[in-house]
């Protein structure tokens, strides 16, 4: 199954995950406010991995949604233009967006191997920065794994991918992996949330909920500003 076809099967699951109370408090409430504070009338916003809906309001901006899932884009009424494609090859000219946003999409940009996934992530970041206009901001919202979570990902990714295929579709990266970009290292902001809030650790199983203190990670935003 191709990654695009697989993504088409996932957009209803994505909607269910985003709607859960714990995930909304941890990953969207503060983050949405940050994005909305940066949007100005007439801006061009590129949302990379936009999915079936935007989590923020951008009524005064022109929003381009990029996603590998045609099914997600078909139901997304929040964007003004839709592009079925990959973040590693964004079909937009150099310096064409005032704001580029990636809401928890980079960890889905994986390959069959750990090293290949790392390279794909770097390509995607380079492409997002390429289409950014001078003075514009790139915001990448992600989860940062700590301790045993990162160790297990690094050790077992290749084996897990070989066994599970497309069902293993998330690889989270520590902050230091985001320092190697054409614009250099980003500024990093961490979002606070109760350690007792619950969330679904497995994307494909939104009904499986555990308290956050059992799963060591942080919600952050990486921000680059193009000079």
Question: All domains of the chain, ordered by start, with CATH?
Answer: 3-225 (3.40.50.150)
Confidence of residue 176 (pLDDT cuts 50, 70, 90): very high
Of the two residues 202 and 101, the one the predictor is more confident about is: 101
pLDDT at 29: 79
Of the two residues 26 and 116, the one the predictor is more confident about is: 116
pLDDT at 1: 39
Per residue in 59-92, pLDDT (tens digit) is 999 999 999 999 989 999 999 999 999 999 999 9
The pTM of this model reads 0.86
Calculate ∠ Cα 117-118-119, nearest 5°.
Answer: 90
pLDDT at 102: 98
Region class of 51: left (phi > 0), else alpha (psi between -120 and 50), else beta? left
Spell out the residues 6+ positions from residue 98 whose beta carbon is closer than 8 angstroms to its own: 40, 43, 44, 45, 61, 133, 135, 136
């Amino acid at each position: 199954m191709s990654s695009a076809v697989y993504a088409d099967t996932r957009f209803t699951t994505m909607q269910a995950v985003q709607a859960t109370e714990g995930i909304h408090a941890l990953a969207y409430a503060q983050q949405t406010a940050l994005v909305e504070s940066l949007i100005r009338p007439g801006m061009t916003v590129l949302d990379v991995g936009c999915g079936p809906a935007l989590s923020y309001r951008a009524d005064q901006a022109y929003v381009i949604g990029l996603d590998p899932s045609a099914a997600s884009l078909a139901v997304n009424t929040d964007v003004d233009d839709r592009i079925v494609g990959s973040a590693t090859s964004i079909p937009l000219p150099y310096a064409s967006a005032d704001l580029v946003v990636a809401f928890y999409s980079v960890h889905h940009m994986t390959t069959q191997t750990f090293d290949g996934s790392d390279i794909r992530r770097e390509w995607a970041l380079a492409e997002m920065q390429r289409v950014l206009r001078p003075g514009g901001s790139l915001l990448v919202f992600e989860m940062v794994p700590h301790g045993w979570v990162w160790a297990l990902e690094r050790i077992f990714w290749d084996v897990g991918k070989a066994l599970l295929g497309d069902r293993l579709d998330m690889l989270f990266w520590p902050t230091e992996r985001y320092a190697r970009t054409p614009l250099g290292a980003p500024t990093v902001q961490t979002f606070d949330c109760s350690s007792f809030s619950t969330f679904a650790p497995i994307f494909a199983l939104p009904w499986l909920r555990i308290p956050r203190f059992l799963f060591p990670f942080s919600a952050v935003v990486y921000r680059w500003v193009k000079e």
